[in-house]
Each structure stands twice: as C-alpha cells, then as structure tokens.
Amino acid sequence: MSLGDEHGHRDGTGGHWDDGFGGTGQTRTRLPGAADPDAYAARRPPRTSRSMLAVVAVVVLLIAAIAFVNRGDGTGDDSADSPKSRPGAAATAASGVTPVKGRTEGVPTGYARDEQGAQSAAANYTAALGSDGMYDSERRGRIVDTVYTRGAARERRAALDKVYGEELFAEVGLRPDGTAPPGQTFVSRFTPLGSKVERYSDSAATVSVWYTALFGMAGETSKNPVTQSWYTYTFQLKWASGDWKVADYAQKDGPVPVGRDQTASGAKEMADAVQQFGGYTYAR
C-alpha cells in the first residue's frame, strides 16, 4: 500500500492532513446513539430563559462569595507530603468499608484515619456544605462547627453569616428568614460523584470531590427554577479532635458532561422528588 492510500495522508502538495474529518487530524469518538461523529458540534444549543439565567447568576454570585470567605493562607497543605499519581481503574471502585461511626448535628462524623476515611469525609462534607441547612442560621452554625477545624470555624462564621443573608435570600426567592414562600420548595442539594486523594499524610490530606448541584425554587410561581450544575471541590483536611476536619477548600467549574434534550419536570414533580428522595451517607 502506498503512502497515498493511508488514512490521514498529506495531499501530496505539503498541505494539511486530509483524514476525512475536516482536516483536523484528530481522532473522533462517536457517542452512543449519535448519528454525527462530532456530538458537540451537532448538538442543538440549550434553551435558555430569563429565569434560568437569573438562577445561574445567583449561583455564580454565591460561589464567588463563599470562595472569598474560604480563601485561606495555604497553610492547610503544608503537611500533606505525598503527591498522588493519576488513579487507575481500581481507584474508582467502591471500597466497601464502613464509612463513619456516627453523626454530629446531622453530619456524618467519625472517619478512619486513612485515605479512604479522608475521601469519605470530603464527600459527606460536600453534601453538608451544599445543603439547604446552610440557609438557616442555627443549622448553619452547627454544620460549620462540625465540618471545619475549630480555628477555621471561628474565623469564617461571621463571614458566612454575611454571605447567607437577606440580600442573597432575596436573589434566590427566599423570605428574609431563609424559608421558602408558601407553595414553593427551596432546593439546594450537592451530590458527590467521585473523589480522589491529591496528597496524604497522617495529619493532613488534600482531597478533590467531583459533584453535581441542584439549586433553585420548585413551585408554579417560581422565577428561579431548579437547575443543575457541575463543580469540583478541593478540600484541605486536617486530623483534629479525632476526626478529619476542613481547614480550607476551593471550588472550580466542571467537568461538565454533554446534556441530553430531556423534557424538564414540572414544579410539583420536582418538589415531590426533593421531599421524598432522601440523601446518602457517602463512603469511599
């Protein structure tokens, strides 16, 4: 077979590669059920509305505010001394180890002092910090005291109280006391999808958690419908008071999958689902 017969050959004039895919020279992966090899290019743009854009704007503002509150001095990473390489197939499998020994103020606590325990703590703390409990002053205080180290909780409590205040509540559609108006259900639920250890020692760990977030108001008159987002938390954990605690954390967007053109559920169906389907205690 001559060079001219090979897939991806040059055109003989020193020009671009001609591989049958627009001259990019890149390997394409066909998604299951996709008629076009480039699902990203062929996919219709998502439908948007002013209400959905408003929800996105509120979420972005909230994330920015919380990121500012949690901006640390980098000390949480000093003792995490063993960088981890890219995980293999076994690293993504469930361990089957019992995750925790109990609960403190509704938050799972009592983790093993090992890498699995650190990942379980990070996953459960993701769910706690993204729960609707953060919008109630008393519940937020208990969550902060349980999840953070004593020093971090003391430093961040006032700033978090300011973030979760009447201005944010008004943007979301909540009443000044943080409760939903009659006939509406407030939804704030973070669901971890996986975790990995970035660094680990017996006294400190850096753990990343990939999660999806549901956020908005479910109700016939809601101006901020429930939407889905994707983020990654990176926690700086310390072993303190006999458990893994958060010293600091950062957040970034994604990874974000390609969405399907599914019909959105009605307000009542969404509200019923949030109220009827309980969350999990997570274990690595």
Is the residue at 10 inside a domain? no
Which stretches of the chain drop beneath a pLDDT of 50? 1-48, 72-86, 89
| pLDDT value, residue 256 | 94
Residue 21 maps to a domain = no
CA–CA distance, 93 with 194 (Å, rounded to integer): 10
Residue 207 identity (one-letter amino acid): V
The pLDDT, as a whole number, for residue 31 is 28
Q: Is residue 166 part of a domain?
A: yes
Q: What is the pLDDT of residue 19?
A: 38
Answer whether residue 89 is part of any domain: no
Residue 67 domain-assigned (yes or no)? yes
The number of beta carbons lying within 10 Å of the beta carbon of residue 280 is 12
Q: Residue 140's domain spans which residues?
A: 50-84+104-254+264-276
Tell me the two tokens of residue 167. Answer: 């201005």
d(CA 229, CA 192): 12
Give pLDDT, residue 280. 73
38 in any annotated domain: no
Helix (H/G/I), strand (E/B), else coil: 115 = helix
- CATH number, domain of 212, equals 3.10.450.50
CA distance 189 to 183: 19
**pLDDT (0 to 100) of residue 65:** 58
Nearest to 77 by CA among 196, 195, 240, 249: 249
In a domain, 140, yes or no: yes
Alpha helices in the chain (DSSP H): 39-42, 50-69, 115-129, 137-147, 150-163, 166-172, 267-276
Residue 181 to residues 36, 52, 168, 184, 272: CA-CA distances in angstroms?
46, 19, 15, 6, 16
d(CA 31, CA 38): 8
| 243-253: strand order across its sheet | 185-200, 204-218, 227-240, 243-253
Locate 119 and state its tokens: 């990942």
Cα(235)–Cα(128) distance, rounded to whole angstroms? 13
Q: What is the pLDDT of residues 183-229, one digit of tens each?
A: 899 999 999 999 999 999 999 999 999 999 999 999 888 888 999 99
pLDDT at 117: 95
- Residue 245 pairs in a beta bridge with 238
The pLDDT, as a whole number, for residue 70 is: 53
Q: Identify the pLDDT of residue 229.
A: 95
* Number of domains present in the structure of the chain: 1
Question: How far from the centroid of its chain's Cα atoms is residue 131's Cα?
Answer: 12
Residue 6 lies in a domain: no
